Amino acid sequence: MSDPLAPVVEIMRRHGARCTVEEFHSAVNVTFHRFESERYDELHQDMWESLPQQIGLLADDCLRGEVPVSIRMLDIGCGTGLATDSLLRSALGPRVTEIDLLDTSTAMLSRAAERRKTWGKPGENIEGLVNSLVGRKQYDLIITSSVLHHVPDLAPFLAAVTDLQKGSPGSSLFLHLQDPNGDFAQDPKRRDRAARIPARLPEWLARLSPQRVVGRLMREIKGEQGQDYLSKTKQELVKSGVVATPLSTLEIFTITDIHVQDGNGISLEQMKSWLPAYDLVSRRSYGFFGPLWSSLPPNLRAEEEQLIREQAPEGEYVAAAWRLRA
């Protein structure tokens, strides 16, 4: 497998970055998400409108097997709290007794902590990486949404997930969603459906979905919004000395959405080798036309819903639930 950080090293060279590639990747991600947090819920309204259904389906799938009666859960890369909020509204919600929120962005974590006040569930708000919890925490359920495609090396990340669950009694659950579907990246049916969406964007720009983010990105590229979160990110990275010259918009997304830009996405078949102690409980897909359900033209929504009900595998996004073998 090629090194996912190789394009990042080239970007560092072009812009005079002098730190390690790991430090650079972290600095760009933290800075980007700090400014994105200011408008995250607005920019990702399509996720708030569409992902609760996917989390609900994964929850229903899990409940067909063994599930802990009382669930202590962790939301990795919690953002502003979408995944946890949606899971609490699912059939698993009544079983959740405690929630820890984890994010590398102070700004994102602060917004999720504010939303926590509506949940009535105790737990910690933790700034940092998942491996910082290994050895001192255990969870019955771990959920992560729109995170895996940001992680350069997934093997140690998933090893940390395993370590955070292997000490819990019973069958622990790991849920993830909103990542590009690597096993069906070149599927002809998906390409044919995408062609039915009018005014398709250039391929490199379409890879930067969700749709509302793309709209803002296009306005930013045209210079119509000089102080949006992308421009702020570029300016701050120069000001703080991370780079000598401003990154381009495409370079920022190459760094942050590393498994989107490389075209590989997230492969469940590959994840099986990194999660050897887990059984794949549920494999689901969505975004069969590219955009999420709420962003589709009305005439395509019913078709999207039917494909979701059929558990067709070739959507733009992949979601899954795994159960740790007791």
Q: Is the distance from CB of 217 to CB of 249 less than 8 angstroms?
A: yes
Give 48-102 pLDDT, tens digit per residue. 999 999 999 999 999 999 999 999 999 999 999 999 999 999 999 999 999 999 9
Output the pLDDT for position 283: 97
Q: Is the distance from CB of 179 to CB of 148 less than 8 angstroms?
A: yes
What pTM was computed for the model?
Answer: 0.89
Is the residue at 68 inside a domain?
yes
Cα–Cα distance between 213 and 224 in angstroms, integer? 15
Is the residue at 118 inside a domain?
yes
Give 261-307 pLDDT, tens digit per residue. 667 899 999 999 999 999 999 999 999 999 999 999 898 999 999 99
Q: Identify which of 51, 72, 70, 53 has the alpha carbon closest to the alpha carbon of residue 61.
A: 53
3-class secondary-structure state, position 301:
helix
Output the pLDDT for position 38: 87
Is the residue at 102 inside a domain?
yes
Amino acid 140 reads D
Is the residue at 116 inside a domain?
yes
What CATH number should be reported for the domain holding residue 88? 3.40.50.150
Domain count, the chain: 1
Q: Is the distance from CB of 75 to CB of 143 less than 8 angstroms?
A: yes
Q: What percent of the chain has pLDDT over 70?
A: 89
How many CA atoms lie within 13 Å of 276's alpha carbon, on the beta-carbon side?
Answer: 2
Cα–Cα distance between 138 and 166 in angstroms, integer? 8
What range defines the domain where residue 85 resides? 45-184+265-324
Alpha-helical runs (H) found in 1-136:
6-14, 21-36, 40-43, 45-62, 82-88, 106-116
Is the residue at 154 inside a domain?
yes
Is the residue at 234 inside a domain?
no
3-class secondary-structure state, position 118:
coil
Q: Identify which of 68, 269, 73 has the alpha carbon closest to the alpha carbon of residue 161.
A: 73
